[in-house]
Amino acid sequence: MTPKKKRFYLLFSAFTFLCFIVGTILIVLQDNILFFYTPSEIFQKNLKKNEKVRLGGLVEENSIVRNDIKISFTITDLKKEIEVNYEGILPDLFREGQGVIVKGYLRNDIFQATEVLAKHDENYMPPEIKKKLEN
Amino acid sequence: MINFKIFKYANPAKFLNLCDKIFIYLLVSMIAFLFFGLYQGFFNSPEDYQQGNLVRIMYVHVPSAWMALMIYSSIAVASCIYLINKHLLANIFCKSASLIGASFTLIALVTGSIWGKPTWGTWWVWDARITSMLILFFLYLGHMTIFNFSENTTKSGQAAALLAILGFINIPIIKFSVDWWNTLHQPASVIKLSGPSIHSSMLIPLLITALGFFLYFLVVLIIRMRSEITNEKINNLSFTE
Amino acid sequence: MINNLFYVVSASSFTLLIMFLLIVFSLSSLKKREKIFNKISKNRKNE
């Protein structure tokens, strides 16, 4: 084997080995990398009392109830839904039908949120096109 | 191994000669593409149906992020060529390109943060995309630091090349992080199998700006490689004295 | 609306600033090194 080939195989095997290690770590840590749980996932988890988690899903249409600065709405993943209570400032993109992520804890099957983040979707288009698509 | 025709330019003198010839064309087209793309993006493209004017941050954020990934990948390829074939010019490329890539990563992180505040409602979250992008930034910093350890570019270049190749595993993680895990980032919009989900009136300025960013990379790269080659010459001269 | 414009302007000006600084920094280091190189090679010819 020429030194050149030797260097090539050495490099190649080192990289492959690293891929396996990183892949294993990522699979093992999968639960921690997940930024949020969907409503169906959260019911399957045995959460400790007042354990802080993130919950993500769509804001259900016509579910937003505003009461002064208190706001409550329902988050759904089209299979299960959870009622959410929140007090504070909402991001620009928060609206019905929008994907959101809320941080907080579950109490009596109602989610008490301390932080609300809006999720953007992957579609970018001018408003006129959006209107045309809807009609 | 395989002998590519391109290795004709592995000779630094021949390479600089080629650079001299194309530099002015690159510079002019860079200015044209950057100016036209950014003008179209900022003043002549429609608002987004959800984000309004904020979508214009995309025209600087997305090309920077693409460049950060592209430059890292090219450094990884050049590192392989350097470690296997020992081409000096590949090493000089790695040394020169690293700072440009780090700058683009920083731009992507900062503009992303500025974009995130009004749309998502937060400056920073530890979601998979943002975290892996931060790791990329640290990889670039480490790569540059190794080169600064010693004046001997050949020696420090080997260590840096090894880091660049092993760190390459981060690139697919960044690209696919939004598909593999739940993240705050939306899934891919432009580079995906089903075709871009971004309207052409926004996609075209974005692609033109991205091309401008790429030409900017080539221009700065030529300046920096010339500088590094001069530095090598200085070292050789003072070494033989 | 003014608020949104502020975000757009700060993001784009940050980008252009970094890109400008990088090009200036690279050019100045090239000029510096070329100066040193010319000096050394001149000295060698004189020797």
B37-55 pLDDT, tens digit per residue, is 999 988 888 888 778 888 8
pLDDT of residue B193: 66
Note the ipTM here.
0.90
pLDDT of residue B1: 43
pLDDT of residue B8: 60
Domain count, chain C: 1
CA distance B5 to A15: 27
Domain count, chain B: 1
- Across C15-44, average pLDDT: 93
pLDDT of residue B102: 97
- Along the 135 residues of chain A, how does pLDDT read in single tens digits? 687 788 888 888 888 888 888 888 888 877 777 778 888 887 777 777 777 888 888 888 888 888 777 888 888 888 888 888 888 878 777 888 888 888 888 887 888 888 888 887 777 777 777 777 666
Range of the domain at C25: 1-40
In a domain, C45, yes or no: no
Say which DSSP state A1 is in. -
Name the CA dihedral angle for B187, B188, B189, B193, rounded to a multiple of 10 degrees: -120
pLDDT of residue A89: 79
Percent of the residues in chain C that have a pLDDT greater than 70, as a whole number:
94
Contact A117 B173 (CB under 8 A): no
Return the residue in A24, A32, A33, A116 with the most chain B beta carbons within 10 A, the one to mutate for interface testing.
A33
Quick one: tokens of B50?
A: 């959800």
Contact B107 C14 (CB under 8 A): yes
- Neighbours of B (≥3 Cβ pairs closer than 8 A)? A, C
Range of the domain at B80: 66-187
In a domain, C28, yes or no: yes
Q: Which CATH number among 3.30.390.50, 2.40.50.140, 3.40.50.150, 3.40.190.150 corresponds to the domain A34-118? A: 2.40.50.140
B71: closest CA among B106, B25, B35, B29?
Answer: B106
C5: closest CA among A67, B43, B4, A88?
Answer: B43
H/E element holding B103?
helix B88-119
Tell me which chain C residue has its CA closest to the CA of residue B59.
Answer: C12
In a domain, C46, yes or no: no
In a domain, C18, yes or no: yes
Give the domain ranges of chain A: 1-33, 34-118
Collect the ranges in chain B with pLDDT lower than 70: 1-9, 193, 239-241
In a domain, B142, yes or no: yes
Tell me which chain C residue has its CA closest to the CA of residue B96.
Answer: C26
Chain A hits for B80, CB-CB cut-off 8 Å, are 11
